[in-house]
Amino acid sequence: MSRPLYFNTRPVIRTAIVPIFAGLLLMACDASRDAIGPPPAAPPPNTPAPVTGVVTGTVTNSVNGKPIAGAIVHIRKDSVMTDAGGRFEFASVATGLTTLSCFADGFESVRTDITVPIGKVTQDIQLARLEVFFLSPWDVEYAMYVPAKVDTIRAVILAVGGPDTRGFATGTWRGGPIAPAVEASLHALGRDIRTLASTHELAVMGMSQTTFWDETAWDGVVGIIDLMGRLNRHPELATVPVLVYGMSSGGDWASGFAARNPQRVAGLFLKTPSKVSSATTRSALRVPTYLIEAERDTLVDNDALIAQFKRKRSAGALWALAREPGVSHDSLTAAERQLTSNWIRSVLDLRLPGTSSDPLRDIDETSGWLGNHVTAETAPWATYAGDRARASWFPSETTAREWASFVAPRAAAITVSGQKSPKR
pLDDT at 208 over 90: yes
pLDDT at 289 over 60: yes
Say if 419 falls within a structural domain.
no
195 and 74 co-located in one domain = no
Across 181-185, 244-248, 414-418, least confident range: 414-418
By C-alpha distance, which of 148, 250, 241 is closest to 208?
Answer: 250
- Specify the CATH number for the domain of residue 137: 3.40.50.1820
137 and 119 co-located in one domain = no
Across 39-53, 74-88, 167-181, 202-216, least confident range: 39-53
146 and 69 co-located in one domain = no
Beta strands in 264-377 (DSSP E): 265-271, 289-294, 319-324, 369-371
Q: Give me the helices (H) in 201-293, please.
A: 221-231, 249-260, 282-285
Q: Cα separation of 195 and 210, whole Å?
A: 24
69 and 157 co-located in one domain = no
Say if 21 falls within a structural domain.
no
- Specify the CATH number for the domain of residue 78: 2.60.40.10
pLDDT at 96 over 80: yes
pLDDT of residue 70: 96
* pLDDT tens digit sequence for 376-409: 999 999 999 999 999 999 999 999 999 999 998 6
Say if 395 falls within a structural domain.
yes
Domain around 64: 52-127
Percentage of residues of the chain with pLDDT beyond 70: 83
Say if 418 falls within a structural domain.
no
Whether residue 253 contacts residue 294, with contact meaning beta carbons closer than 8 Å, is answered with: no
70 and 216 co-located in one domain = no
pLDDT at 11 over 60: no
120 and 246 co-located in one domain = no
Q: Cα separation of 193 and 43, whole Å?
A: 70
Say if 25 falls within a structural domain.
no
203 and 78 co-located in one domain = no
Tally the domains of the chain. Answer: 2
By C-alpha distance, which of 330, 333, 329, 334 is closest to 178?
Answer: 330
Last residue of a domain, one of 88, 110, 127: 127
pLDDT of residue 214: 86
Helix or strand run (H / E) with residue 399: helix 397-407
Last residue of a domain, one of 96, 127, 158: 127
291 and 354 co-located in one domain = yes
Say if 38 falls within a structural domain.
no
Q: Which whole number is the average pLDDT over 209-231?
A: 92
Say if 146 falls within a structural domain.
yes
Last residue of a domain, one of 93, 127, 161: 127
137 and 172 co-located in one domain = yes
Whether residue 201 contacts residue 153, with contact meaning beta carbons closer than 8 Å, is answered with: yes
258 and 337 co-located in one domain = yes
Is the whole-model pTM more than 0.85? no
Across 14-23, 112-121, 148-157, least confident range: 14-23
199 and 103 co-located in one domain = no
Q: What is the DSSP letter of 335?
A: H
68 and 166 co-located in one domain = no
* pLDDT tens digit sequence for 64-73: 999 999 999 9
Percentage of residues of the chain with pLDDT beyond 90: 76
Q: What is the DSSP letter of 107?
A: B
Q: What is the CA radius of gyration of the chain?
A: 38
* pLDDT tens digit sequence for 14-38: 333 334 344 443 444 444 444 445 5
Say if 6 falls within a structural domain.
no
Calculate the average pLDDT of the chain.
Answer: 87
